[in-house]
Copies of this chain bind each other. A is one copy, B any other.
Amino acid sequence: MDGKVAISEKIAQSAHVDCGDCPIRHRAVCARCEADELELLEQIKYYRNFEAGQTVIWSGDQMDFVASVVSGIATLTQTMEDGRTQMVGLLLPSDFVGRPGRERASYDVVATTDMVMCCFRRKPFEQMMVRTPHIAQRLLEMTLDELDAAREWMLVLGRKTAREKIASLIAIIARRDAALSMQGTRGPLVLDLPLTREAMADYLGLTLETVSRQVSALRKDGVISLEGKRRVTIPDMGRLLEEAGDDSDGGMLV
């Protein structure tokens, strides 16, 4: 335990951390790398910290690095000229930012919590990708997963009601939390919403007022209960998934 604290402190200070000790070692783009490949990555990596609220990259900006999220959460958003915005991705620890071969960022990336990123200058990273197929393999796998997630969201955005949208979002966050924290899949789940009502609205294609109303409605109906504004308890996951309009098979927390 002491070791872990020391490492997260080191990371927070942007001190050099050995890849072998990295918390996202087995899920990030480097997951498949062998010891020798890791060593090469080790040489070109560097850490960067961002504070909650800080913009990591503006859409259209020169993008001369790619990165993995080590800790914290960021959002990927698109904005229209008149200010309407739509979130198109939620970046969690181990997620990858940037696209090999692309000069400029296509989306705004904003830190919603304090964050640490493990960065690589783009050119050296691209060169490495050609030589080490393990990186490209893993990146393909991650990109396919993201594409599936994006398609799931297209259904949510295009066809679900406001109530179903909120239930879907809570269910997805619950599923992810359960996958990480490994609390038993039986019994009530407790989780913290990592997003403001406005960010939830941007994710779901709603207004923040509607988000607030539907969260209240789900609470009144006993589907969830709230402790403060962010901590959610789910007494019955099956009920929540029903409200989300998901197939009943979704009970298993992948």
Q: Interface residues of A: mostly helix, strand, loop or mixed?
A: helix
Nearest chain B residue, comparing its CB with the CB of A249: B60
C-alpha gap A101/B148 in the complex (Å):
14
Whether the Cβ atoms of A106 and B157 lie closer than 8 Å is: no
Interface residue from B81, B147, B153, B245 paired with A80 (Cβ < 8 Å):
B245
Whether the Cβ atoms of B84 and A151 lie closer than 8 Å is: no
Q: A81-B247, A159-B84 are in contact. Are A143 and B147 (CB under 8 A)?
A: yes
Interface residue from B88, B139, B158, B205 paired with A151 (Cβ < 8 Å):
B88
Q: Report the minimal beta-carbon distance from A216 to chain B, rounded to whole angstroms.
A: 22
Whether the Cβ atoms of A148 and B80 lie closer than 8 Å is: no
Q: Report the minimal beta-carbon distance from A213 to chain B, rounded to whole angstroms.
A: 18
Q: A80-B245, A245-B80 are in contact. Are A86 and B147 (CB under 8 A)?
A: no
C-alpha gap A35/B191 in the complex (Å):
54
Nearest chain B residue, comparing its CB with the CB of A206: B158
Q: A88-B151, A106-B148, A107-B151 are in contact. Are A158 and B204 (CB under 8 A)?
A: yes
Q: Mark A71-99, 1 if CB is under 8 A from B, else 0.
A: 00000101011101110110000000001
Whether the Cβ atoms of A144 and B99 lie closer than 8 Å is: yes
A155 within 8 A of B: yes
A172 within 8 A of B: no
Whether the Cβ atoms of A144 and B144 lie closer than 8 Å is: no
Can you list 9 contacts pairing A with B, beta carbon distance less than 8 Å? A78-B154, A80-B155, A80-B159, A88-B154, A88-B155, A136-B140, A139-B140, A147-B150, A159-B205
8 closest cross-chain pairs (CB), A and B: A158-B205, A88-B151, A150-B150, A157-B157, A86-B155, A86-B158, A84-B159, A140-B140
Q: Could you list 16 further interchain pairs (A-B, Cβ under 8 angstroms) beyond the known A88-B155, A133-B133, A143-B147?
A: A78-B151, A80-B245, A81-B245, A82-B245, A84-B159, A85-B159, A88-B151, A88-B154, A106-B148, A107-B151, A133-B136, A140-B140, A143-B144, A157-B157, A158-B205, A159-B205
